[in-house]
Structure 1
Amino acid sequence: MRMKRFLHAALAATLFLALGAPAAEPPVAGPAPQAVAAGQDMGLPDSTTRAGEYTGKSEYRIGPQDLLKVSIFMNEELERELRVNATGQISLPLIGVVQAGGKTVLELETEIAEKLGKTYLQNPQVTVFIKEFTSQRVTVEGAVKKAGIYPITGQTSLLQAIALAGGTDSDVADDEAVVVFRTVNGQRMVAKFNLQDVRNGAAADPQIYGDDIVVVNESKAKRGFKRFLQSIPIVNAFVLY
């Protein structure tokens, strides 16, 4: 009975402290972020444009390991899918090595067209499409199994970004309190999402962009109970209570 009373008292004290403690907030430099109302679009971040819609108007700068598809109108034999190498270069038929890293899609299309037009083709129409954007990164932290910075390859949703980090830590994660930080037009924005609603189809799975920060908050009750369990010494015996 003494052991039973001790365990109950310890559990009650631990949960009281955990529930009474303020939730930890992720460090965010600069002024406080502006909250986005439920159902409102956060908007596009300053660093990119919508994945899958990269055109000549995009300001995105191509980087190493990006996967490009280069097409020349009416010349299908010259079409190539190419991975940008570590030095930012790609190699194309007829014109050889081209520096793609650091250029926008429009700049790269223009350079390829100029090189082809000098000797081989008359007014070539070049299209560059970015199939994978591996030079973009998303930060996932908080109550996930493997917090870190991960590359985005193509369109990435919130659930997919969390999956990159091994999924949520079911012991302590609060699936109803997942926040995304993003910079839009120079303003730090933050939006809150309910993963359960997203998984159940009750809410849309929002798209995640490069430089976004995803934070899975911890449930204070779950965190307190986990710490309580960890504090109990292993005695290799069952306790009756």
Structure 2
Amino acid sequence: MTRALSFFSALAAVLVAGCGGPRMDVGQMTAAQPVDLQSVQTVAAPPSEYRIGVGDKLDVRVFQVEDLSFEELVVDTSGNINMPLIGAVRGAGRTAGEMSSDIAARLAARYLRDPQVTVTVKEAASQKITVDGAVTKPGVYEMRGSTSLLQAVAMAEGPTRIADLTKVAVFRTIDGQRSVALFDLAAIRQGRAPDPEVLGDDVVVVDTSRLNSALREVLGAVPALAIFRPF
């Protein structure tokens, strides 16, 4: 724990000294239990795996039932959409496929025999991510739909000359707790590693090569990249 805290203390010091962008309160980043990155949908996923959010516009189709088909339903602030007969349907945090199955099951229970339901994300509401550290323009950026780590760094106009692309941290809240995973952006650029998906409210921090000597021991203790771990 002490060695890991030293890593983030050093990281915070460099950000304060050398970055003109937003300031991260690293002290608030308490750890979650280690979680395999793939289990929390950070590996780049096909559009069907996108997690629906508040404000997203959905196209909902019930095959051959025009009165239950809608070109545009907006996920409200409670995370739901409303449909005739079955009322509120949870959308936020679900995939389109999960919503389709839920709607079909509820319609089949009382109203239709073997309904065929398709839910499509017509337009994803903008979500914000923070990109900080050794990037050209640190700041808070809006993203729509699926956005990869490479794309997030590109939003900040790419890394600076002092960036260490082998150490890019993504901070995320998982089950109410703050956690972090490290990625090798150089390997991702070269196609040697998958380009993970970033989610709304993630904080991406690109390390700086000036930290190498201070962080070598700490990072050497990290057993694997691309896994959210306690610190």
**Shorter-normalised TM range:** 0.5 to 0.7
Partner of 1:62: 54
| 1:199–1:77 CA distance, 2 compared to 1 (3 A) | farther
Query: Partner of 1:52: helix, strand, or coil?
Result: helix
| 1:111–1:80 CA distance, 2 compared to 1 (3 A) | closer
Partner of 2:77: 102
Partner of 2:40: 44
CA contact (8 A) 1:36 1:191 kept: no
Report matched runs for 1:73-112 at 5 Å: 73-75=63-65, 81-82=71-72, 100-104=75-79, 107-108=80-81, 110-112=82-84
Q: Distance between the aligned counterparts of 1:216 and 1:160, measured in 2?
A: 13
| 1:69–1:160 CA distance, 2 compared to 1 (3 A) | same
| 1:203–1:137 CA distance, 2 compared to 1 (3 A) | same
* Aligned-residue RMSD, C-alpha: 3.7
| 1:184–1:221 CA distance, 2 compared to 1 (3 A) | closer
| 1:134–1:29 CA distance, 2 compared to 1 (3 A) | farther
CA contact (8 A) 1:35 1:190 kept: no
Report matched runs for 1:1-241 at 5 Å: 22-23=10-11, 24=14, 26-30=24-28, 32-33=30-31, 40-41=36-37, 43-44=39-40, 52-53=48-49, 61-63=53-55, 66-75=56-65, 81-82=71-72, 100-104=75-79, 107-108=80-81, 110-112=82-84, 127-169=118-160, 171-220=161-210
CA contact (8 A) 2:163 2:206 kept: yes
Q: Which runs of 5+ in 1 are unaligned?
A: 1-21, 83-89, 91-98, 116-121, 223-241
Query: Partner of 2:150: helix, strand, or coil?
Result: helix
Partner of 1:18: none
Deviation at 1:175, TM superposition (A): 0.8
CA contact (8 A) 2:53 2:125 kept: no
Provide Cα deviations, 1:110-160, integer angstroms capped at 9, x if missing partner: 424569xxxxxx868765432442232221111222222222322221111
| 1:149–1:133 CA distance, 2 compared to 1 (3 A) | farther
Compare the two structures and name the one with the higher helix fraction. 2
Q: Which runs of 5+ in 2 are unaligned?
A: 1-9, 16-23, 88-110, 213-231
Provide Cα deviations, 1:62-114, integer angstroms capped at 9, x if missing partner: 21xx34223232157986654xxxxxxx6xxxxxxxx643243xx41x42456
TM-score by length of 1: 0.54
Q: Percent identity?
A: 39
Q: Distance between the aligned counterparts of 2:162 and 2:156, measured in 1?
A: 15
Q: Distance between the aligned counterparts of 1:138 and 1:207, measured in 2?
A: 12
* Paired letter, 2:208: E
CA contact (8 A) 2:59 2:120 kept: yes
CA contact (8 A) 1:36 1:42 kept: no
* Paired letter, 1:161: A
Q: Distance between the aligned counterparts of 2:178 and 2:39, measured in 1?
A: 11
TM-score by length of 2: 0.56
